[in-house]
Amino acid sequence: MIILAFDPGIERTGFAVFTTEKGGEQLVDFGCLFTERSRALPDRLDHLHQQVTKLFREHNPTHIAMEQLFFTNNQKTAITVAQAQGVLLLAAADYGPVTFFSPVTIKMAVTGYGKADKKQVQQLVIAQLGLKEAPKPDDTVDAIACGLTAVIHYKLQQTLARAH
């Protein structure tokens, strides 16, 4: 299984790629996609689409995980994040199923505590994957945490399917 996970955003979109083989997971790629704030929104969305399409072609994922948009008081931010999420969904259409995970679910899966702060999530991502330091920016760590959540989710689904 190849999982491509995202923390969507218009300015920064974090991504992480995991493979699962023989019961273990491996983080094979991660990073952050950027769009220039000075460019018009349609240009930014197009640039994001080009970058994401390249990721899909490079990794050929079987499953896609995405952090679910959470309620925010800033409507402008929520709208642009939703637009970026739409670009990701469009790019994912020809690949695997997309599963959304709420921030609380991701924190619970990675730290065992649904109200964990960013620092706690970073520390446990570093520990679980044996990283030397937290990847930058935070959007990358969030995508890795989303990917870890997806690994747990899909492994559980496979275990339950075998049990029946």
Q: What is the domain-level CATH number for residue 124?
A: 3.30.420.10
Cis link prior to 42 (omega < 30° from 0)?
Answer: no
Q: Which residues form the domain of 99? A: 2-163
Domain count, the chain: 1
Question: What is the block-wise mean pLDDT of the chain (164 residues), using blocks of 10 residues?
Answer: 96 97 87 97 97 98 92 76 95 93 96 92 94 93 97 85 81
Q: Quick one: pLDDT at residue 162?
A: 84
Catalytic status, residue 58:
no
So what's the pLDDT on residue 23? Answer: 66
Which of these is catalytic: 21, 67, 94, 133?
67
Q: Identify whether 142 is a catalytic site residue.
A: no
Q: Is 76 exposed, middle or buried (0-12, 13-18, 19+ CB in 10 A)?
A: exposed
Quick check: is 46 catalytic? no
pTM of the model: 0.93
What gap in Å lies between CA 24 and CA 152, rounded to an integer?
A: 11
Q: Which of 7, 11, 25, 142 is catalytic?
A: 7
Closest CA to 55 of 6, 19, 100, 98: 6
